[in-house]
Amino acid sequence: MRTGLRRFAAPAPARPVQEPEPEQPERCEMCSEPIGAEHEPGSGHAHMVDVETRALMCTCRPCYLLFAPRGAGGGRFKAVPERYRHAASVPLAASTWEAIGIPVRMAFFFTNSAMGQTTAFYPSPAGATESLLPLDAWSELLDATPTLADIEPDVEALLVNKNDDGGFECFAVPIDACYQLVGLVRTYWKGFDGGEEAWTAIDGFFADLRKFSEPVGAMHD
């Protein structure tokens, strides 16, 4: 009996430690070549948009450059530009913002060439939420930011941020930057007002945008 009890009291034999499987490198969604992690310096990681499905694709640098010229590949795939521009003070009427129906202080707008229309989205805990965009409201937005009105359909967006003082700033950014903002909100937002952690991440995102964006005036000279 004692011998049997000792069998349960004795330490279990050590199990062999399994080495973690090596992390698989991300691959280009066009040619399957390995690419570095997103936002990793020198990784060659780039983005394209499938215009038909509106999907954002991760690609290597050679594939990105192949589709960079306008109309390449019949226009189905478009390389996401890498330019960032910032208009620090935009004369946007509060009534225009209210007409768009955005319940938060930020939204982005881009033109879907396949549908032939401009759409408004705002980041939310559920992801990118679409908002009804009256045609005249979009016209008023462009009138307020003519220096940013040349955004490329499908791959660039007009990102509007309402400041604490009630004023507005606008950015012309690659569409993937908007989805990065959406990801921050989904990750950190808590409760009704988001919480301190979420707003720290959001404010940091806009601070970084201001640093590497080319400053432009809201109006043409």
pLDDT for the residue 9 = 41
Residue 121: both structure tokens together:
């989205």
Exposed e or buried b per residue across 93-111, where buried means at least 16 C-beta atoms within 10 angstroms of its C-beta: eeebbeebebeeebbbbbb
pTM of the predicted model as reported, rounded to 2 decimal places: 0.81
Please tell me whether residue 197 adopts helix, strand or coil conformation. Answer: helix
Give yes or no for a contact between 60 and 31, defined as CB atoms under 8 angstroms apart. yes
Rounded Cα–Cα distance for residues 118 and 109 (Å): 7
32 and 120 share a domain? no
- Quote the number of domains for the chain: 2
Show the low-confidence residues of the chain (pLDDT under 70).
1-24, 39-43, 218-221
The pLDDT score that the predictor gives to residue 175 is 94
- Whether residues 90 and 187 fall in one domain: yes
Q: Are residues 153 and 168 in the same domain?
A: yes
Task: Tell me if 51 sits within 8 A of 114, measured CB to CB.
Answer: yes
Report in angstroms the alpha-carbon separations of 90 from 82, 140, 166, 215.
23, 11, 11, 12
d(CA 78, CA 72): 8
Distance of CA 180 to the CA centre of its chain: 3
The pLDDT of residue 16 is 55
Q: Give the model confidence (pLDDT) of 18-52 as tens digits.
A: 555 556 678 999 999 988 777 554 567 899 999 88
**Is residue 9 a part of any domain in this protein?**
no
Residue 137: predicted pLDDT: 85
Residue 158 lies in a domain: yes
Question: Based on the domain organization, do 97 and 44 belong to the same domain?
Answer: no
Residues 105 and 195 occupy one common structural domain: yes
Q: Do 127 and 166 have their domain in common?
A: yes
User: Is 99 found in the same domain as 33?
Assistant: no
pLDDT of amino acid 161: 94
Identify the pLDDT of residue 204: 95
Distance CA 29, CA 48 (A): 10
User: Are residue 99 and residue 184 in the same domain, yes or no?
Assistant: yes
Whether 109 and 152 share a structural domain? yes
The domain of 30 spans: 26-79
Structural domain contains residue 59? yes
